[in-house]
Amino acid sequence: MSTDAAASLPPLADLLDRLVVVRLPLAARFRGIDVREAALLSGPEGWTEFSPFLEYDDAEAAPWLAAAIDFGWMPQPEALRDSIPVNATVPAVRPSAVAGILARFDGCRTAKVKVAELGQVLAEDVARVRAVREAMGVEGRIRIDANGGWNVDEAEHAIHALAEFDLEYVEQPCASVEELAELRARVKYMGIPIAADESVRKASDPLAVARAGAADLLVIKAQPLGGTHRALEIVAAAGLPAVVSSALDSSVGLSMGLSLAAALPELDYDCGLGTAALLTADVISPALAPIDGRLPVGRVTPVTALLAEHAASDERLEWWRARIGRCHALLADPRERSEIEVGRRAGRVG
C-alpha cells in the first residue's frame, strides 16, 4: 500500500465496528479444510470480505485487508460485462465422487481439477481427470491445478500422462518461476499452456513470471493481490491473458472477483469464481452458484439471519479482530510494508 493509500486507510475502530465473522461448511474437504472462516465488513460502498487462510502470517494477509478496503470503501472499475462464465472446481476426490461434485455447478462447460495432492499419487490424478472427462464429454474443457506440487521432471511426466484428456491448460505445475520456465520450454511442443497462480499472488514481484516467459496466462485473485484496482494494473503490465479465480470465498468475496473479471478488457477463459457451489451454506440466499455456467456481476448484501446462523464463536471473532488489527498496522506504516517486501524477496514470508 502506497503512502497516499496508507493516509486514506480507514481507522481500525471503524473496521472493527463493521465486522462480522462467519464459518461456512464445505460439501467436500478442500485445501485441507472442512469449514471456511471469513471476516465480512459493511463498507461505505457495500459489503466486502477479508478471508486469508488461517495459516497465512500477517505479512501475507495484509494485502487481503487492502483488497477488502478497496472493495468496501472505493468505487469499483467500470464493468464491461454483466455476467461472467465460470468453471466447475473438482477437489482431490475419488473418481466416484466426481459426478456429484460436477452436478453442483449448473451448466459449466469447464472444470478445474485439483491434482498433486499431498499423500496421493499420479495414478489417482489420472483416474480423477478421466472421470471428469467421462462426465463432461468430448466438448467439456478440463484444466488441472497442481498448486506447485511437482518438480520439473514430475510435472513433465504428469502432463504426458494427462495429455490424452485434452487439457485446456496446467495451472502452477511447479513452485518457482525458474521451474515454470524450464517446464514450459520442455512441453511447448505439446501445445498445452502453462498458467501461473502462486507465482503471481505470492510473489514480491508479480510480473517476474511474465518477464521470464514462464507462463502463457495468469490466474489472478482480487484478495491476495490487494484488490481489483491493483490486480488490473498487474494484468495490464504483464500483457498476458488472465483468468480470475477465487480463494474459496463467500458470495461477498466472489462479488469482488466478479467485479475484477467484469472490468478486464479481455476475458478469454471461464473464471474460477463458481466456488460457492462447494459450500453447503453461505451468507446470501441463494448463494452465487452458477446458473447456466455463469454468474451475475454486482454487489451482494448478506442476509441478517444467515450472518447470525453462521456466526463464529466469540473466541474466533476475537482472533479475527486481533488479526485485522495487526494487518491494519502493517498497511498503515510504509516502513513495515517495505520490510515485508524485503522478507518476501529473501523467501522468509509468502
In this predicted structure, what is the pLDDT of residue 31?
Answer: 78
Q: For the whole prediction, is pTM greater than 0.85?
A: yes
C-alpha 168/C-alpha 72 separation (Å) is 34
Between residues 247 and 321, the one the model is more confident about: 321
Query: Grid coordinates in use for 202?
Result: 505470492
Confidence check: pLDDT of 249 > 60: yes
| Residues above pLDDT 70, as percent of the chain | 93
Q: Which of 329, 222, 298, 312 is nearest to 19 (CA)?
A: 312
In this predicted structure, what is the pLDDT of residue 247?
Answer: 87
Residue-range domains of the chain with CATH:
3-75+305-345 (3.30.390.10), 83-302 (3.20.20.120)
In this predicted structure, what is the pLDDT of residue 29?
Answer: 82
In this predicted structure, what is the pLDDT of residue 334?
Answer: 65
Do residues 74 and 45 touch, judged by C-beta distance below 8 A? yes
**Helix 122-136 with 152-162: angle, nearest 10 deg:** 30
Confidence of residue 130 (pLDDT cuts 50, 70, 90): very high
Max Cα–Cα distance, the chain, nearest Å: 56
| 145 assigned binding-site residue | yes
Peptide bond into 286 cis (omega under 30): yes
Confidence of residue 221 (pLDDT cuts 50, 70, 90): very high
C-alpha 73/C-alpha 68 separation (Å) is 8
| 14 assigned binding-site residue | no
Which residues have a Cβ under 8 Å from the Cβ of 114 and sit 6 or more positions away? Answer: 30, 89, 90, 91, 92, 144, 145, 147
The torsion angles phi and psi of 142, rounded to 5 degrees, stand at -125, 130
Confidence check: pLDDT of 251 > 80: yes
In this predicted structure, what is the pLDDT of residue 311?
Answer: 98
**Does the annotation count 114 as an active-site position?**
yes
In this predicted structure, what is the pLDDT of residue 194?
Answer: 98
Alpha helices in the chain (DSSP H): 3-7, 12-17, 58-73, 95-102, 122-136, 152-162, 177-187, 198-201, 208-211, 228-238, 251-263, 304-309, 314-332, 334-345
Catalytic residue among 112, 188, 202, 221: 221
Confidence check: pLDDT of 347 > 50: no
pLDDT, mean over the chain: 93
In this predicted structure, what is the pLDDT of residue 337?
Answer: 56
| 197 assigned binding-site residue | yes
In this predicted structure, what is the pLDDT of residue 336?
Answer: 60
Between residues 13 and 31, the one the model is more confident about: 13
C-alpha 280/C-alpha 320 separation (Å) is 22
**Does the annotation count 112 as an active-site position?**
no
Distances, alpha carbon 71 to alpha carbons 77, 114, 199, in Å:
10, 29, 24
In this predicted structure, what is the pLDDT of residue 28?
Answer: 81
Confidence check: pLDDT of 341 > 90: no
Q: What is the pLDDT of residues 291-300, one digit of tens each?
A: 999 999 999 9
Rounded to an integer, the average pLDDT of 320-343 is 79
In this predicted structure, what is the pLDDT of residue 294?
Answer: 98
Rounded to an integer, the average pLDDT of 331-350 is 53
Confidence check: pLDDT of 349 > 50: no
Rounded to an integer, the average pLDDT of 155-170 is 98
Residue whose cell numbers read 491448460 = 169
